[in-house]
């Protein structure tokens, strides 16, 4: 355990250092640069696999592991507090897994300024991992903002025709969204100081805060806005198609596969974790927006002639599933969401990579330009079809298991059925006598169907039928570099699809523990609705009964005990209400 | 000896400027004074820190209440001297490159620094005026230093006229305060106002008299407020700023935008908090934070919105400096409201230090981008600059990110701290407005990055290439060092700022009302 104590710090800072060092490598030696980039990426990936070995074995995955908690700016209560649990574990590994693949795949299309590209990618990796493991809100915000600059440069410098517009739009949307989050964080900290006499930005400390109902909703709204823009949820998704279309292949891959997940991750960890009452109140609305995103995103994707725009809109649709799962508040739904985040990362990453391949050959992304590619590029076509199947959620691939869990979760969710809501009092009262029943599940299922429609439609157009366009007659099939980049992704598609339990057994305990705390805190807040000033909850409220593994780290405040008593077998049973 | 030691941060630039004039008279060729000037400034900064470290003498009666040498003034002295040092290094590169290298620039900058230090230590309205004029006269001359250019002359003229106007307002306000209280020192004025407000009127005539006096007090406060708002470039008294900044030689602009701002804010905070800070002593005039809050909102909003429309980077930086004055005012607005009144003041001091290194770096990187006859001032000049010259482009990027407030630079942290102190003091709306403004400002700082990294220069347009100057490079390295160091490890610097304003430190050195009221005014009566 000792050797791995600083593993999270290593994972954050190793990419940043590697990125800065890359700037000092000679520009004249592209081979060295590429080798360096992929090597660094793989070493970081190998490091991140250590997360699976000792630190987060399934039984202990419900608590924060590998906690590092030291003072950074003590007088302001800002700490360097890191930790990983089952919610963030796979997202970190997804990040380290995709970064080397992305860099490797990009060397075909990015031939100028490779050095700067590598540096930006590695620094971006560092910021993303940092955001996933930060348990101090200030630290989280720092990493959250830090992500913007490298991505801005990747889109703006290496992107397509209209790259500057897209880069600026991306930056301003996200920056404007997050300033409100900062205000909300500062407001919470100011009130925390008022109650306890000392400052703290610590997630675990701020978990204890309770606010009057109206204030809590405002604070939640400030967080939710920042995250909703990042996700992006309908209707604040308009930056995404621009950013994706103009970004280089590598930029699109990272943006879709990982950066969007920070929105959903933040929504779960901070939005729902800190403000359960408000999150619960707005839950059905979020679910409705998510369903709108699923359906409208799918419809928009269907109408696209630009390959990348199509995938961008399909991301809006897929992220709708993730948000729906989160809004269900059931273990199945939330676990499914987390799994779906990873799935979407892999399948959309692969889709962008594959679209990049034909863009490199033809320099167009117009779907109408292609047809009958299966004959000239058989390997490419086969891989594309596999990834498509994953994207539409065919059983056996990773897409199926995530969507299935989300839909099950929303079907079983009491919150989304509104059946128990009549007991609510005061402002929370939303009494609906007739059960709306599986409305959201139905909407989501229709989204699955639409997803199949637009993806299969485009596959049919591009790969089958006559190859009438003479410029497509002699396209080169995947070369070695491209195959090497795609194969790990395909392998992951099946690994996740066929052995989901391996992944879920590390996710579920954390989700269970998260929902236990969520519900406990929500009830505690609900019972004190009449409060007109901020107040502190008992520490015990936000800490479920500690399991066996909980005291091992010696950071009692950093722990959220595991709840081993709940049944693994009842995975699909709603714990939400 | 004690006195000399105490005044040494101010005396070093004064003596240094005289030496520089001698050096200039005796040297055969122009140029070469930048390094001695920077050394004088660095020495002054080191002296201020040494005094800080060593502890101030408890007995400062020798100053007779004219000057207050406390940790606030030492902090600002060090900030000013650091800013002056970096600015003189920039001048060493800029003036030589653009054939302006006449020796008198360096004594001017050094005298101005001495004036700025007097200004932040002044605790007497006479001293305030003297410091203001000493600083400003040098800066007026530096603004018009490019003698052949009508823009430069126009800038100097405008700055001079409006600066004199502000000085006149200050004098008028001081005169009214003297009439009201019979004192010119802050402590004396404050205690006299306090006594006057505490008296209960005996009859109707006395009551009417008291009302009149209160009104005169408000008027005096307004005059002082407006004159200081002129100096810090707050809206609606900012009109001189963009023209003066744009017309001035860029190295003078660098100096003006940081040193003059730091000095003016230091003096502003000291006079407002010392005389009108306490609701009891200043009566109705203590309502100034509310007025200043509106000024702060107007300053950041107007500054940012106009900056959006600029096509010249130099002018954009001028408007951005107005916007930053708005953020700084946030600290001053919050200072009297807050419990203990220290966090917001400390936030303002920290912001001044942060803005000094960030803005000097940004202006310095802009200087670096220009060669003789081809100064880079507009966005178009910089098109593709960072692609052709990655290191020089990165320097400008770093400082612009700091001005935007992106971590891990110090600009992020100082903005965070000032907004937080406003929230702590209960100014939630003000804090939200500041953050919205911060988002707006991202657009125009980003515009420069877009030009540098993502645009190609128009065909046939001259390509900006960095000048070769050890001075400018050194200045940028020093600034970048502070921007990153203070951004990643802010704790030690925050401690300094907080220690500066902590009541214990102030009590150690500030003259008490008794000794100031007893000695200085007695001599004047």
pLDDT, one tens digit per residue, over A160-207 is: 788 888 888 888 888 888 888 888 998 888 888 888 888 888 888 888
How far apart, in whole angstroms, are the C-alpha atoms of residue A67 and residue A79?
Answer: 12
Across residues B437-456, what is the average pLDDT? 86
What is the pLDDT at residue B459? 79
pLDDT at B112: 95
Cβ count within 10 A of residue A109:
15
The arithmetic mean of pLDDT across residues A460-470, rounded, is 81
B442, B494, B495 ranked by CB distance to A171: nearest:
B442
| Least confidently predicted of A19-28, A421-430, A524-533 | A421-430
Burial of B241 (0-12, 13-18, 19+ CB in 10 A): buried
pLDDT of B508 reads 42
Residue A564 lies in a domain: no
What pLDDT does B400 receive? 93
Mean pLDDT of B223-247: 90
Distance from CA of A190 to the nearest CA of B (A): 6
Residue B115 reports pLDDT greater than 90: yes
A471 within domain boundaries:
yes
In a domain, A537, yes or no: no
The model's pLDDT over A201-225, given as tens digits with 9 standing for 90+, comes to: 888 888 888 888 888 889 999 998 8
Overall residue count recorded for chain B in this entry: 525
Listed in sequence order, the residues at least 6 apart from A483 whose beta carbon sits closer than 8 Å to its beta carbon are A379
Least Cα separation, residue B138 to chain A (angstroms): 40
For position B350, what pLDDT does the model report?
Answer: 93
- Which residue among B423, B495, B498 sits closest to A187, beta carbon to beta carbon? B423
- Asked if A467 contacts A50 with a C-beta cutoff of 8 angstroms, the reply is no
Average pLDDT over residues A552-561: 36
Residue A565, in any domain of the structure: no
Q: Which residues of B touch A139 (CB under 8 A)?
A: none
- Contacting A residues, span 181-240, partner chain B, CB-CB under 8 Å: 182-183, 186-187, 189-190, 193
The answer to whether A216 and A275 are in contact (CB under 8 A) is: yes
* A513: enclosing H helix or E strand: helix A500-526
Confidence band, pLDDT 50/70/90 cuts, at residue B226: very high
* DSSP bridge pairs for B312: B378
pLDDT-wise least confident of A187-196, A389-398, B25-34: B25-34
Q: Using an 8 Å Cβ cutoff, are A337 and A327 in contact? A: no
Q: Is pLDDT larger for residue A292 or for residue B342?
A: A292
For residue B312, pLDDT beyond 80: yes
Partners of A156 on chain B (C-beta within 8 Å) are 449-450, 453-454
- Give the CA distances from residue B51 to residues A549, B38, B83, in Å, rounded to whole numbers and listed in that order: 54, 20, 19
DSSP A134: B
From B419, B442, B491, residue closest to A186, measured CB to CB: B419
Structure tokens of A531?
């409060």
Cβ B491–A172 below 8 Å, yes or no? Answer: no
Chain A partners within 8 Å of B419 (Cβ): 182-183, 186
Whole-number pLDDT of residue A57: 56
Burial of A329 per CB tally in 10 Å (0-12, 13-18, 19+): buried
For residue range B116-163, what is the model confidence (pLDDT) as tens digits?
999 999 989 999 999 999 999 999 999 999 888 888 999 999 999 999
pLDDT of residue A427: 52
Q: What is the mean pLDDT of residues A364-382?
A: 83
Average pLDDT rounded to a whole number, residues A84-91 = 86
Task: Report the residue of chain B nearest A192, measured CA to CA.
Answer: B424
Q: Is the pLDDT of residue B60 over 90?
A: no
B321 pLDDT exceeds 90?
yes
Residue B349 has pLDDT above 50, yes or no: yes
Kindly state the average pLDDT of the residues A356-368. 83
In chain B, where the domains are located: 2-524
In sequence order, what are the beta bridge partners of A209? A536
Compute the radius of gyration of chain A from its Cα atoms: 23
pLDDT on residue A569: 32
Tell me if chain A has a CB within 8 Å of the CB of B485. Answer: no
**Amino acid A576: pLDDT:** 35
- Identity of the residue in B390, B401, B442 whose CB atom sits nearest the CB atom of A172: B442
Task: Name the pLDDT band for A305 (thresholds 50, 70, 90).
Answer: confident
Asked if the structure places residue A433 within a domain, the reply is: yes
What pLDDT was estimated at residue B136?
93
- Residue B8, chain A, CB below 8 Å: the answer is no
pLDDT at B224: 92
- Give ∠ CA B398-B403-B407 in degrees, rounded to 5: 65
Q: How far apart are CA B20 and CA B41, in angstroms?
A: 12
Q: How confident is the model at residue A564 (pLDDT cuts 50, 70, 90)?
A: very low
CA A389 – CA B315 distance, rounded (Å): 55
Does the residue A216 lie in any domain? yes
Is residue A132 scored above 60 in pLDDT?
yes
Asked whether residue A554 is domain-assigned, the answer is no
Provide the domain count of chain A: 1
* pLDDT for res B260: 93
3-state SS assignment for residue A263: helix
Q: b/e string for B379-417 if b means 16 or more Cβ within 10 A?
A: bbbbbbbbbebbebbbbbbbbbbbbbbbbbbbbbbbbbb
Separation in Å, CA of B447 to nearest CA in chain A:
8
In chain B, the percentage of residues whose pLDDT exceeds 90 is 38
The verdict on a CB contact (< 8 Å) between B401 and A149 is yes
State the average pLDDT for chain B.
Answer: 85
Give A80-83's long-range contacts (Cβ < 8 A, gap of 24+): A80/A136, A80/A139, A81/A134, A81/A135, A81/A136, A81/A139, A81/A202, A81/A203, A81/A558, A82/A8, A82/A9, A82/A12, A82/A133, A82/A134, A82/A135, A82/A139, A83/A8, A83/A133, A83/A135, A83/A558
The pLDDT of residue B37: 92
Contact A72 B450 (CB under 8 A): no
Q: Tell me the mean pLDDT in the region B351-359.
A: 94
Write down the mean pLDDT value for chain A.
Answer: 81
- Contact yes or no for B417 and A76 at CB 8 A: yes
Q: How far is CA A438 from the centre of its chain?
A: 26
Instruction: Name the E strands within B407-452.
Output: none
pLDDT tens-digit map of A37-60:
899 999 999 888 888 875 555 555
Distance from first CA to last CA of chain B, Å, rounded?
Answer: 28
Instruction: Note whether ipTM > 0.90 here.
Output: no
- At A553, the pLDDT band (50, 70, 90 cuts) reads very low
Q: Do A189 and B449 touch (CB under 8 A)?
A: no
Is residue B412 within 8 angstroms of chain A, CB to CB? yes
B83-110, pLDDT tens digit by residue? 999 999 999 889 888 888 888 899 999 9
Identify all chain A residues contacting B439, using CB atoms and an 8 Å cutoff.
172, 175-176, 179
B408–A193 CB contact, under 8 Å: no
Residue-range definition of the domain harbouring residue A164: 2-520
Task: Give the chain A residue nearest B397 (alpha carbons).
Answer: A149
How many CB atoms neighbour CB A58 within 10 A?
17
Phi-psi region of B60 (alpha: psi -120 to 50; beta: other; left: phi over 0): alpha
Does residue A434 surpass a pLDDT of 70?
no
Classify the C-alpha dihedral A232-A233-A236-A242 as positive or negative.
positive
- Looking at residue B514, what is its pLDDT? 39
Chain A hits for B454, Cβ within 8 Å: 156-157, 163-164, 167
pLDDT confidence of residue A66: 79
Q: Which residues contact A28 (CB under 8 A, 6 or more apart)?
A: none
Q: What is the mean pLDDT of residues B180-193?
A: 87
Q: What mean pLDDT do residues B493-504 have?
A: 81
- What is Dmax (Cα atoms) for chain A? 75
Mean pLDDT of A280-301: 86
**pLDDT classification of B513: cutoffs 50, 70, 90:** very low
Predicted pLDDT of residue B259: 94
Q: How close does chain B come to A329, measured CA to CA in Å?
A: 32
């Amino acid at each position: 355990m000792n050797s791995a104590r600083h593993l999270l710090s290593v994972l954050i800072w190793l990419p940043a250092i590697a990125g800065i060092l890359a700037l000092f490598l000679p520009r004249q030696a592209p081979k060295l640069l590429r080798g360096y980039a992929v090597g660094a990426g793989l070493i970081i990936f190998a490091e991140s696999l250590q997360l699976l070995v000792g630190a987060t074995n399934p039984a202990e995955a419900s608590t924060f592991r590998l906690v590092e908690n030291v003072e950074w700016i003590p007088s302001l209560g800002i700490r360097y507090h890191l930790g990983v649990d089952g919610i963030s574990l796979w997202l970190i590994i997804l990040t380290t897994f995709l970064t080397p693949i992305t860099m490797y795949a990009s060397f075909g299309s990015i031939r100028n300024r490779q050095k700067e590209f590598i540096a930006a990618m590695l620094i971006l990796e560092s910021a993303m991992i940092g955001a996933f493991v930060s348990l101090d809100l200030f630290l989280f915000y720092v990493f959250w903002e830090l992500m913007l600059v490298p991505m801005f440069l990747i889109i703006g410098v290496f992107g397509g025709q209209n790259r500057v517009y897209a880069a600026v739009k991306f930056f301003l949307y996200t920056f404007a969204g997050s300033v409100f989050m900062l205000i909300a964080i500062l407001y919470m900290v100011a009130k925390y100081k008022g109650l306890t006499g000392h400052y703290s930005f610590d997630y675990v400390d701020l978990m204890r805060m309770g606010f009057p109902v109206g204030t809590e909703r405002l604070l939640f709204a400030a967080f939710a806005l920042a995250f909703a823009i990042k996700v992006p949820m309908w209707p604040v998704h308009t930056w995404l198609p621009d950013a994706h279309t103009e970004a280089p292949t590598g930029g699109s891959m990272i943006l879709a596969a990982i950066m969007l997940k920070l929105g959903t991750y933040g929504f779960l960890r901070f939005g729902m974790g800190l403000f359960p009452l408000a999150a619960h109140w707005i839950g059905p609305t979020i679910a409705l927006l998510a369903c709108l995103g699923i359906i409208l995103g799918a419809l928009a994707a269907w109408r696209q002639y630009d390959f990348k725009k199509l995938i961008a809109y399909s991301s809006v649709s897929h992220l709708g599933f993730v948000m729906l799962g989160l809004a269900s508040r059931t273990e199945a739904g939330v676990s499914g969401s987390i799994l779906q985040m990873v799935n979407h990362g892999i399948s959309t990453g692969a889709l962008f990579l594959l679209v990049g391949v034909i863009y490199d050959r033809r320099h167009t992304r117009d779907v109408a330009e292609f047809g009958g590619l299966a004959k000239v590029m058989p390997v490419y076509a086969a891989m594309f079809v596999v990834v498509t199947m994953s994207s539409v959620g065919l059983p056996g691939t990773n897409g199926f298991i995530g969507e299935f869990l989300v839909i099950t979760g929303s079907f079983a969710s009491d919150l989304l059925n509104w059946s128990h809501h009549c007991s609510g009092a005061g402002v929370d009262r939303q009494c609906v006598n007739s059960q709306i029943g599986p409305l959201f599940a139905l909407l989501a299922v229709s989204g699955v169907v639409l997803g199949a429609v637009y993806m299969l439609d485009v596959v049919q157009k591009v790969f089958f039928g006559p190859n009438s366009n003479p410029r497509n007659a002699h396209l080169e099939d995947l070369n070695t570099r491209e195959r090497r980049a795609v194969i790990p992704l395909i392998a992951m598609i099946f690994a996740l699809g066929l052995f989901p339990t391996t992944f879920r057994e590390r996710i579920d305990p954390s989700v269970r523990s998260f929902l236990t705390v969520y519900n406990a805190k929500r009830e505690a807040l609900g019972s004190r609705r009449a409060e007109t000033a901020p107040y502190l909850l008992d520490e015990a409220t936000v800490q479920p009964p500690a399991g066996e593994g909980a005291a091992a780290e010696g950071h009692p405040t950093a722990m959220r005990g595991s709840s081993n008593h709940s049944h693994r077998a009842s995975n699909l049973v709603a714990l939400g209400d | 000896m004690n006195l000399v030691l105490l005044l040494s941060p101010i005396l070093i630039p004064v003596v240094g400027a005289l030496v520089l004039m001698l050096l200039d008279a005796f040297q055969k060729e122009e140029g070469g004074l930048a390094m001695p000037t920077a050394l004088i400034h660095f020495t002054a900064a080191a002296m201020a820190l040494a005094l800080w470290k060593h502890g101030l003498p408890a007995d400062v009666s020798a100053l007779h209440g004219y000057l207050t040498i406390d940790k606030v003034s030492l902090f600002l002295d060090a900030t000013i001297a650091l800013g002056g040092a970096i600015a003189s290094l920039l001048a060493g590169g800029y003036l030589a490159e653009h054939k302006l290298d006449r020796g008198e620039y360096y004594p001017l900058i050094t005298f101005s620094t001495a004036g700025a230090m007097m200004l932040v230590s002044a605790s007497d309205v006479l001293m305030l005026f003297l410091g203001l004029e000493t600083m400003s006269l040098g800066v007026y001359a530096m603004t018009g230093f490019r003698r052949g250019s009508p823009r430069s002359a126009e800038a100097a003229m405008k700055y001079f006229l409006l600066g004199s106007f502000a000085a006149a307002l200050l004098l008028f306000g001081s005169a009214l305060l003297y009439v009201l209280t019979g004192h010119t020192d802050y402590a004396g004025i404050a205690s006299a106002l306090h006594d006057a407000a505490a008296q209960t009127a005996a009859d109707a005539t006395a009551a009417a008299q008291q009302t009149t006096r209160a009104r005169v007090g408000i008027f005096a406060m307004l005059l002082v407020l407006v004159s200081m708002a002129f100096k810090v470039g707050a809206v609606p008294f900012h009109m001189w700023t963009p023209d003066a900044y744009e017309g001035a030689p860029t190295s003078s602009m660098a100096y003006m935008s940081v040193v003059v701002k730091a000095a003016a804010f230091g003096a502003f905070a000291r006079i407002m908090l010392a005389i009108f800070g306490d609701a009891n002593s200043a009566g109705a005039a203590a309502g100034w934070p509310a007025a200043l809050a509106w000024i702060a909102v107007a300053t950041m909003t107007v500054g940012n919105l106009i900056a959006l429309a600029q096509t010249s980077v130099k002018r954009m930086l001028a408007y951005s400096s107005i916007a930053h004055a708005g953020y700084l005012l946030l600290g001053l607005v919050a200072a009297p409201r807050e419990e203990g009144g220290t966090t917001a003041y400390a936030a303002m001091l920290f912001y001044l230090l942060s803005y000094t290194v960030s803005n000097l770096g940004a202006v310095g990187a802009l200087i670096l981008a220009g060669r003789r006859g081809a100064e880079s001032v507009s966005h178009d000049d910089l098109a593709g600059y960072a692609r052709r010259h990655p290191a020089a482009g990165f320097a400008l990027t770093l400082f612009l990110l700091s001005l935007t407030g992106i971590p891990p630079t110090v600009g992020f942290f100082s903005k965070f701290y000032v907004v937080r102190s406003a929230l702590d003091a209960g100014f939630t709306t003000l804090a939200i407005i500041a953050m919205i403004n911060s988002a707006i400002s991202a657009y125009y700082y980003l515009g420069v990055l877009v030009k540098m990294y993502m645009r190609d220069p128009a065909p046939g347009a001259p390509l900006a290439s960095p000048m070769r100057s050890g001075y400018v490079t050194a200045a940028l390295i020093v600034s970048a060092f502070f921007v990153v160091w203070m951004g990643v490890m802010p704790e030690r610097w925050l401690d300094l700022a907080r220690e500066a304003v902590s009541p214990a430190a102030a009590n150690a050195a500030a003259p008490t009302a008794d000794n100031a009221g007893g000695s200085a005014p007695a001599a004047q009566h």
